[in-house]
Amino acid sequence: MAMMMEGKRGQDWINLVLAICLFISPWIIGFAAETMPAWNAWIVGVALGALALATLSVFAEWEEWVNLVLGLWLIVSPWLLGFMANANAMATHVILGILVVAASAWAVWDVHHPHAHA
C-alpha cells in the first residue's frame, strides 16, 4: 500500500509541475497577448494545480479522471477554441495535454493494478 501511495504522489507532483508550466506558458512562450489561448492556459492550469494539490493531501480516483479529461481538453482546445494558427500556443497546449493525460492515466492504472510494481 505504501508503494502504491508513493507512486500516486509522484504522479500528482508531475501534474502539479505541469499545471505550473501551463499557467506560466503564456508569458514564457509568448502568447499572453492572445486572449483565448492565454485564458485557456490560465484556467486549466489553476484547475489542474488545485486538483493536484487536493490529490496530494487526500487521494481520490475521480480527481485523476478529471485531470485526464482536462488533459484531453488541452489537446483539442486549439481547434475547438480556434487558436491552432498560433503554433506556439497550440504546441504548448497539445504537448502539456499529452503529458497530463499520460500522468493521469498512469495514476488511474496504478489504482486498478496495485501489484504491478511488485
Tally Cβ neighbours within 10 Å of residue 90: 17
Q: Which distant-in-sequence residues (6+ apart) come within 8 Å of 88 by Cβ? A: 29, 30, 31
Ordered alpha helix ranges (H), the chain = 2-25, 35-57, 61-80, 87-112
- Residue by residue, pLDDT tens for the chain (118 residues) are 344 444 457 888 999 999 999 999 999 999 999 999 999 999 999 999 999 888 887 777 788 889 999 999 999 999 999 999 999 999 999 999 999 999 988 888 877 776 655 5
Query: Is 15 in contact with 52 (CB distance < 8 Å)?
Result: yes
pTM of the model: 0.84
Query: Is 46 in contact with 79 (CB distance < 8 Å)?
Result: no
